[in-house]
Structure formats: structure tokens, C-alpha cells
Chain A
Amino acid sequence: MTEHSLWRFSRAMLRAINERQPADLEALIDDDVEWTVYGPVDMFTFLGARRGKAAVLDVCRQIAENVRIHRFDRESIMLGEDSAASMMRYSLTALDSNRPISLRIANFAQFKAGRLRSMRVLIDTFDLIEQALGAPIHLPKIA
């Protein structure tokens, strides 16, 4: 049974971020890949949309320069023929501040011939920003 593209991609992504070794990842990304991580780009420049392999590798390099992954738990994973969706819980450290960050992330991936063709990532960004600030953001109550 052939291994699903998601597993190869996940291992390569982890290596690119934690070991700063992007060669495996480069081989698994389509030249014309579409990539979007929804979130505030003013605060985290590695969020936002990218197009093309070079841009995606560059943003992965930026992520590697900012965080280290300590642990991840797969809360839910669904594998389609050329697609995958996952909800993951990550424990990270912000490298500059050594601040721990715990994130829940949804990934929606599409592959073509074993290479990543599209990636959409959603994060509970309000929670992320409160953790980065180290303090709660006070909001008005709406009944």
C-alpha cells in the first residue's frame, strides 16, 4: 500500500522547520503551489498567502527562523485520494523570546502526483495573539 502524500510532506515540513533542512520539502512541492495561512500578517510576517515553490520555501524558512516545534498531536485526520484535512495541536517555542505557544491548527491540503498543490491553514488567531502578548485581550461583552 502506497504511503499517503500527507505523511511524506509532514515529515519533510518538520525537518525543514526544526532542522532547517528544506531539501526533502522542496521535492514535495509543486512549482505552482497555492499556500495560505489565514492570520494577521502585520504581527506574523510568515502568515498570509504565497504562490509558487520559491515563495513557499521562503515562508517555511521564515517559520523555521521564528519557531521550533516541540510536540504535535493529531486530533483528527482525514485522507482522501489526493487530499487531506487535519486538525493538529502543536506545542511551539518562539525562538526570539523562548516563549511557549500552544496552537490548534487546521490544514487542508491537495496533492498532485505526490506533490503539494494547495495548502490552506486556519489558526485560532485570537488565542495565538493572546499567547504571544502573554495577556488576555479584553473585549466588550455582547449579550
Chain B
Amino acid sequence: MESDSNRQCVLDFLQAFYAGDAAAAMSCCDNDIDTITYAPVDLFPHLGHKHGRAWVAEAIAIQQQRYTIRKHEVTFITAEDDRVAAMTRCALTKRNDGRVVQFVEAAFFTLRDERIAQHRAFFDSFDLVQQILGHDLADEFAISVRGAMER
């Protein structure tokens, strides 16, 4: 079934991505892959809107520069026709201070000829920003947000 092979392609992509095997990860992607990861690009320059599968190798290289260990676990995956959705729990160990940042990512893939042609992803980006910066921003903004919501 098409959806079974597409599901396996996404699993292979995620496995290769987090194993740091750029060639294998790129082989799961269409040459013209269009990807958007919704996140603040000041902190995550390898995210945002990218085009072409060279992005895969660049994203892996940036993560490898920043993190010594990158682990992932797919906690939910479903496929229908040429589309696959996955929820992945990720844990990255920061190179500069050894702290582990953890997040859950939602990713939606559209495949063409059993390769990933479109990728859309996002996560609890505020929490991840706090973890990357190493300090809590919630206190700083909680009162402002509550105030703004009530204005």
C-alpha cells in the first residue's frame, strides 16, 4: 500500500536525521522539498522556510555543531495516501554546557513518488526557547500576557 511505504519513508528519514546520516536522510527527500518549521529563526536559523534537499544536510550540520547527542522517539504516526503525520519526542544534549533540551515536535509530510516533497513542523516553541536560553521567560511575560488578554 502506498501509505505503508510513505510511512516507512518518514520513519527512515527521522531515523537518519537524528543519527546524523545526511546522505540517507536526503535520499528520503525530493530534490525540491519545501519545508517550513514554524519557530523564531533568530534562535533557530536552520528552521523557518527552506527549499531544496540541501537543507537536510545543513540542518543536521547545525544541530551537530550545537548538540553532542540527539535522540528521538516517534510517539504517534499515521498515514493516508500521500500524507504522513508524526509526533516525535526529541532530546538534544547541548555542546556548550551539557544540558539536555527536550521537546515534542509535530510534523506533517506530503510525499511524491515515495519521497518527502513537503514538510511542515512546529513545537512548543516558547518552552524550547526557554530551555535553549537556560532561563525561565514565563514569569517575565506571564503578567504582561494576562494583562494584554484582559485589556
Contact = CB atoms under 8 A, between A and B. Distances in A.
Given A132-B148, A142-B45, A43 B138 contact: yes
A120 B106 CA distance: 10
Contacts of A38: 104, 123-124, 127
Contacts of A76: 83, 85, 108, 110, 120
B149 A139 contact: no
Contact of B79 (A78, A125, A128): A78
Nearest to A110: B76
A134 interface: yes
Interface string A59-87: 00000001000000001101110011111
B83 A122 contact: no
Contacts of B127: 38-40, 125
B87 A108 contact: yes
B144 interface: yes
A57 interface: no
B122 interface: yes
Main secondary structure of the interface of B (DSSP, over half): mixed
Contacts of A142: 42-45
Interface residues of A, number: 42
Interface in A94-130: 94, 96-97, 99, 104, 106, 108, 120, 122-129
A3 interface: no
A139 B40 contact: yes
A99 B84 contact: no
A104 B107 CA distance: 12
29 contacts: A38-B104, A38-B123, A38-B127, A39-B127, A40-B138, A42-B139, A42-B142, A43-B142, A75-B108, A78-B79, A78-B85, A80-B80, A83-B76, A85-B78, A85-B87, A87-B108, A96-B149, A96-B151, A97-B150, A108-B87, A122-B87, A124-B122, A124-B125, A125-B126, A129-B145, A133-B141, A134-B148, A139-B40, A139-B129
